[in-house]
Structure 1
């Protein structure tokens, strides 16, 4: 026992004389910038199921087709003969299926012009390091989901906001800003049910936008991940469907419509661009999950996906109705909003000048998680992004009522 004590003491002595590296310094100097503190806080709380998650931009587990997913996985497992790496651009049958699928909204492309990615966010990461140089500028709607991330900023790429209205990006502002610096600028846009505002870009505005970009030789990243979540009527054709000269990189995904856990998205673009991005993806992760790709191919090719999204639209229509009724009942005198024609979000503007930090913290204390507008752009501080897609239906009205009560408390002197 005595010797054991000596060994232990020696061990502690060694630890004291050979301290570990100062990992805090490494963390602080890493190339990729950390998320904003409030975004980190939101991300952490989003895993707490006790909260009413009015912030979460995904579909509720109530909408997830669990039994159908089990059946699909069971069926494809019978056909599996290997779990090896796929081709650099992704599983060919999936790319072929996506090529057929996007024809339904006017995009005609070949499998060789499609890259499978692990969600739309990876597509943006690949573009940031594969196509743009440091000091490039990404033009984008103001506000925008991209401001809540540091995908481009971590590559020393600037973000520059373009004005938008109820019809989408304002073309005259885009034209003026794109002329300012033409050195490898690129436009990022969410034309369908924009995040966070919910705005659907009109067909006439899309044509104006394409005209400006073609004239200025400004390439476009079209993020179309919410397209299938239309509620009132089919949205206009994508920018990519109007693209005759290879201006548009089209990004799609199954994360918002089927399952974020599959981590399956795609980029459609000119073949040299897809070759470049696929090479970087191979260096990064050697390809997206083979099983996820096989499952995604089965969903899309069997017709099950189309049946599923039709069901999702009906459920989102009911959820949107409940949230708007609650807003009409409790918030008419303290806030303004527009009813979106699809997607997941309502962009709520609080009319009285109150502390949004206090609103956020008081809501947390009552078990409600919100996304303050300032994470999407500093000038949107009096806004909240509300999501009607994730919260259990029975909690939608209660959540809105609680928010209205907190706002009224903060108005009082």
Structure 2
């Protein structure tokens, strides 16, 4: 066989393999009617072929009636074909279109998927780089499970008593008096919000939140029939006067969601006086406060103000904590602290949903806390994060000074960067992904477009952080040159 014949056979085999792969997914029911196929570029990279080979494979599938193209939208599994396979297929996309929980914002979904791509430089991810996990010291706590784990059945949803006591001791050191009976283990802060939404809030309630907030990237409140009302959030303060004005005319039940310490994504920490104002407003209008305080332990320069819940003597504040930011999300362990009646109600809800949080991570964290290894880990972690923060600030000063401004955060894991109007944030996000860098654009945290980007100094190695910022500068400069031409 000649060289040309050999290459031709490879091409033939390639498009047949691609067509067979897609057809197999459809016929097996894995890819349902209406599902969008991967892009031609993604398929070409997956099968290590050129795009013309992919196009040839797709054309064959179109002729067979398996797929169809929509101009400007992409290629989809066919739902209109008269072929037997298409007639009998369940269109799960249409079926679930009006489900209780719709799919995430398109960009949020894309980020969630790309955060799992280890080939990308993660410049926006909200978790610690794997090198920052305390492997050796935590392994010691894992080894204690051999002697501490003795419950092999279902529980009452309230969690392990030893873990709840350890969290009670942990909170006491941070100025919060919470007995074990006021603490409910959960699988992270997001589940805490879901339990509060399903178990406590009424349909039609107003959820007040800062105008830029992590909560805006979630459908959770809206799909449960709540209305989200944005509150102006300036440096170190949520606008208390604005909140009072709206609450005085709001006849629906209301709740305030606030991430008061190293706020995600702006990194701001609200002042002590502002915290007192919010407690007064809560008492005056009988408005519960959801205090999401998962970044508190990541202070770098000085210990932050006392939690809102430590100032509240009326039982209006529900405190959410988690080890996802200080340890690792894979542990899936956090807690809610609140009045006993609330914890009892949410514990009952846990029994209806999943019978409670796994005991294994609870027991491992119980030992890690009680042994003092967690506090030692925090000392070492703060030192490393302080170095990384200063390094990212240095890189920004060297490379982004002409295009952006920022404030140096006192804690957390992010820098909230404001780019000039000449930088198209959506285009920057897309271009950087193409260059192997992932950032979190600010528009996913707000109902309004903005020029911000959330950059993390914790989620990548120092060398990756340096390369990522250099690539960002190159992308911006290339865009600027294109505009000038």
Give the TM-score band, short-chain normalised.
Answer: over 0.9
Provide, for residues 28-52 of structure 1, a one-character-per-residue CA deviation record: whole Å limited to 9, x for no partner. 1221121001111111111111111
C-alpha contact (below 8 Å) 2:100/2:223 kept by paired residues: yes
Q: State the partner residue of 1:6.
A: none
Match runs of 1:159-174 below 5 Å: 159-174=228-243
Match runs of 1:262-411 below 5 Å: 262-411=331-480
Give how far 1:354 is off: 2.9
C-alpha distance in structure 2 between counterparts of 1:90 and 1:182, whole Å: 37
| One of 293, 302, 309 as aligned partner of 1:224 | 293
Q: CA RMSD in A?
A: 1.5
Give how far 1:267 is off: 0.6
Q: State the partner residue of 2:276.
A: 207
| One of 140, 143, 154 as aligned partner of 1:85 | 154
C-alpha distance in structure 2 between counterparts of 1:164 and 1:297, whole Å: 36
Q: Please give the secondary structure, in 1, of the residue aligned with 2:454.
A: strand
Q: Please give the secondary structure, in 1, of the residue aligned with 2:367.
A: helix
C-alpha distance in structure 1 between counterparts of 2:387 and 2:287, whole Å: 40
TM-score (norm 1): 0.93
C-alpha contact (below 8 Å) 1:264/1:293 kept by paired residues: yes
Give how far 1:17 is off: 11
Q: State the partner residue of 1:98.
A: 167
> Closer, same or farther in 2 for the Cα pair 1:344/1:21, shift >3 Å?
same
Work out the number of aligned pairs and report it. Answer: 399
> Closer, same or farther in 2 for the Cα pair 1:90/1:329, shift >3 Å?
same
1:25 is the counterpart of 2:83:
no
1:69 is the counterpart of 2:146:
no
Does 232-241 or 87-96 show the bigger shift?
87-96
C-alpha distance in structure 1 between counterparts of 2:377 and 2:259, whole Å: 23
Does 165-174 or 192-201 show the bigger shift?
165-174
C-alpha distance in structure 2 between counterparts of 1:403 and 1:159, whole Å: 34
C-alpha contact (below 8 Å) 1:134/1:155 kept by paired residues: yes
More contact order relative to length (CA 8 Å, sep ≥ 6): 1
Q: Please give the secondary structure, in 1, of the residue aligned with 2:291.
A: strand
Structure number, greater radius of gyration: 2
C-alpha distance in structure 2 between counterparts of 1:410 and 1:53, whole Å: 22
C-alpha distance in structure 2 between counterparts of 1:178 and 1:190, whole Å: 20
Provide, for residues 103-129 of structure 1, a one-character-per-residue CA deviation record: whole Å limited to 9, x for no partner. 111111211111111111001001111
C-alpha contact (below 8 Å) 2:185/2:336 kept by paired residues: yes
C-alpha contact (below 8 Å) 2:144/2:364 kept by paired residues: no
Provide, for residues 89-116 of structure 1, a one-character-per-residue CA deviation record: whole Å limited to 9, x for no partner. 1111111111111011111121111111
Provide, for residues 8-35 of structure 1, a one-character-per-residue CA deviation record: whole Å limited to 9, x for no partner. xxxxxxx869824332222212211210
TM-score (norm 2): 0.80
What residue ranges of structure 2 are gaps of 5+ in the alignment? 1-83
C-alpha distance in structure 1 between counterparts of 2:154 and 2:378, whole Å: 30
What residue ranges of structure 1 are gaps of 5+ in the alignment? 1-14
Give how far 1:396 is off: 1.5
Q: Please give the secondary structure, in 1, of the residue aligned with 2:132.
A: coil
Provide, for residues 362-410 of structure 1, a one-character-per-residue CA deviation record: whole Å limited to 9, x for no partner. 1011100011110001435211011111111112122122222222333
C-alpha distance in structure 1 between counterparts of 2:395 and 2:368, whole Å: 35
C-alpha contact (below 8 Å) 1:76/1:298 kept by paired residues: no
Q: State the partner residue of 1:40.
A: 109
> Closer, same or farther in 2 for the Cα pair 1:229/1:82, shift >3 Å?
same
C-alpha distance in structure 1 between counterparts of 2:104 and 2:452, whole Å: 20
C-alpha contact (below 8 Å) 2:156/2:347 kept by paired residues: no
C-alpha contact (below 8 Å) 1:219/1:247 kept by paired residues: yes
Match runs of 1:214-253 below 5 Å: 214-253=283-322
C-alpha distance in structure 2 between counterparts of 1:161 and 1:251, whole Å: 21
C-alpha distance in structure 2 between counterparts of 1:168 and 1:125, whole Å: 26
Give how far 1:143 is off: 0.2
